[in-house]
Structure 1
Amino acid sequence: MRFTTLTLAAALCAGAATASEVAPGDVVFNGSAVEASLTGVAGNADEGMKVYSSKKMGNCIACHQISSVDAPFPGNVGPSLDGVGDRWNVAELRGILVNSKMTFEGTVMPAYYRVDGFIRPGNRYTGKAADDTFGPLLEAQQIEDLVAFLSTLKE
């Protein structure tokens, strides 16, 4: 009984910490922009740089280069992110990161904060595809951090 009570208390505390976080299915688009913060907490540009450059997080660097970032093998599939903070406002950047398909139809850029609407062909062929209970590629705060970082990239 004691273990159950402690587990329940920990779960309630964890839920309270993320109570203001917008769930992926509840994100509101205004056209292709997302006006409201996903967390209500300002993004941290230094943490956003880590999301951009880390292969274990956003891995943006696999497709996009930034000339001021000295990194081996930056990608060139997507456009350069130099000056992206001048080309897009914060809401537009957030919208592109949440679901790039809302801005760029047919893009190969992943929707980093989307969890539904995917085609799972493995079940039809093998019955062994993962279930549909997976989370977004990036957490809400990682999106906000990445927006903060990209906003600093001015011409």
Structure 2
Amino acid sequence: MGLASAARANDLMPYKIVDDGIPASLTGSSGDAMRGRALVLARTTTCILCHSGPFPETRFQGDLAPDLTGAGNRWSVSQLRLRLVDASRFNPETIMPSYYRNEGLVRVGRNFVGKPILSAAEIEDIVAYLATLRD
């Protein structure tokens, strides 16, 4: 499923925040770590514009945000999911996009007005991949 997927709709899958995470999968199943890795490295998701990580094939990686190396040790799957869905819950001043919100946003590109940046399946794929990143 690509970023231009027709599956991306204005309606978001419901989710429940518990403590500092979203414990249940947005899709009802685990994501695919290989697809998640491809999404993290895709310039269209912007992950590596700010984050660095164990991506030796990628020359230019960001240094504005935490290194993703060891992300699976630092955060639980539940915490990773909430960080992708809405990073502003942890830091209202963050520059990280809320990848799975469609309301209350500012500076939204016209192609994304009223739509999430990533689909529920793409969030789950990225979560699956980040969870594998262990020191």
Whether these two folds match at TM > 0.5 is yes
Look up the match of 1:116. 103
- Give the Å deviation of 1:28: 1.7
Bigger radius of gyration among the two = 1
TM-score, structure 2 as length reference:
0.83
Higher normalized contact order (CA 8 Å, seq sep 6+, divided by chain length):
2
TM-score, structure 1 as length reference:
0.73
Give the number of aligned pairs: 126
- Give the Å deviation of 1:29: 1.1
Superposed CA RMSD in Å reads 2.4
Structure 1 residues 150 and 116: alpha-carbon distance in aligned structure 2, compared to 1, 3 A threshold:
same
Return the letter of the residue paired with 2:61: P
Return the letter of the residue paired with 1:153: L
Unaligned segments of structure 2, at least 5 residues:
1-6
CA contact (8 A) 2:13 2:26 kept: no
CA contact (8 A) 2:36 2:129 kept: yes
* 1:34 and 2:25 aligned: no
* Dislocated runs of 4+, deviation >4 Å: 129-133
Distance 2:111 2:57 in 1: 39
1:74-124 Cα offsets, whole Å, 9 max, x none, are 111111011010000000000000000112231111100000012469xxx
Unaligned segments of structure 1, at least 5 residues:
1-17, 122-128
Return the letter of the residue paired with 2:122: Q
